[in-house]
A = this chain, B = another copy of it.
Amino acid sequence: MHSLSEENYLKVIYRLALVGKEKISLTSIAEALNNNPASVVDMLRKLVDKKLIQYEKTKGVKLTDKGRKIALQVVRKHRLWEVFLLEKLGYAWDEVHDIAEQLEHIHDLQLADKLDKFLGFPQYDPHGDPIPKANGEIAVMYKTTLAEMSDGKSCQVAGVKDTNASFLQYLKKLDIGIGTKIIVIEKILFDNSIVIMIGKNIKTTVSKVFAENLLVHE
C-alpha cells in the first residue's frame, strides 16, 4: 500500500509529465506540491527505492510502469468522485475538486470499478478531463473550447475552464451541464459571439468570453 503523500507525489509527477515536454525537475515537483525542495529529495529517494520512479539528476524524474499505474488509479478515483459529487450529490463545479482530493485516497480494490459502474461509466470529469479506465487506458483528450469550434459543428460539453460562480450560475440557467449537446449555428464576426443550439430546441447567443470558458469535445 502507498501513503497519501506518495500517491500525491506520483499524481503530480504524472500531471507534470502530461503538460510539459521538458524533463521534470525536482524543483517543479516542489512547486507543484508547495513543498520545500529538500523534502522532495527525501521522497524521490523513497519512490526510487520502491521502484515507482526513475530519477537522475540531469535527466529528471520519470514514472516507472508501476508508478504510472498507481498515478492513473488515483487520477481515476479523483475524477470519478468528482462526477459523483457533481451529479449525484449536487455540488457545484468549483466545489468538487477539494473533496475529491481527499476521496481519491480511499483504498479498496473494488471501489473505483463499482463507482464507475454506478455512474454509468462516464468518460469525462466536470473539468473536461478524461477518466482513466480500469485497465489504465486514458482517452486522448480532444478537448477544446466552444470558441474554437467552427460553424455547423456539433459538440458535447466536457467541462469548464473558469469556475467563477456567476459563470456557473449562468450555465445552470441555460441548462448546460456535462454531456449537453451543443451545435454551433453561426459565429458573429463583429464581436465573436456565437449562436448555438443547446440540446434540441434552445437557441441562444453567447459571448466570446463565454465560449472561451466552456470546454467541449466533438
Contacts and interface: CB of A to CB of B under 8 A. Distances in A.
Interface of A: 88-91, 95, 98-99, 102-103, 106-108, 110-111, 114-115, 118
B99 A108 contact: yes
B110 A102 contact: no
B107 A102 contact: yes
Contact of A90 (B89, B99, B103, B114): B114
Contact of A91 (B90, B95, B107, B114): B114
A165 to B, nearest CB: 15
Nearest to A114: B89
A102 B77 CA distance: 14
A95 B108 CA distance: 10
B99 A111 contact: yes
15 contacts: A89-B111, A89-B114, A89-B115, A89-B118, A91-B110, A91-B114, A95-B110, A98-B108, A99-B106, A99-B108, A99-B111, A102-B106, A102-B108, A103-B103, A103-B106
Nearest to A107: B102
Contacts of A114: 89-91
A114 B95 CA distance: 13
A118 to B, nearest CB: 6
A106 B110 CA distance: 19
A50 to B, nearest CB: 22
Top 7 A-B pairs, shortest CB-CB distance = A89-B114, A102-B106, A99-B108, A89-B118, A88-B118, A103-B106, A90-B114
Contacts of A103: 103, 106
Given A91-B110, A95-B110, 4 more contacts: A89-B111, A90-B114, A99-B106, A99-B108
A95 B109 CA distance: 11
A102 B98 CA distance: 17
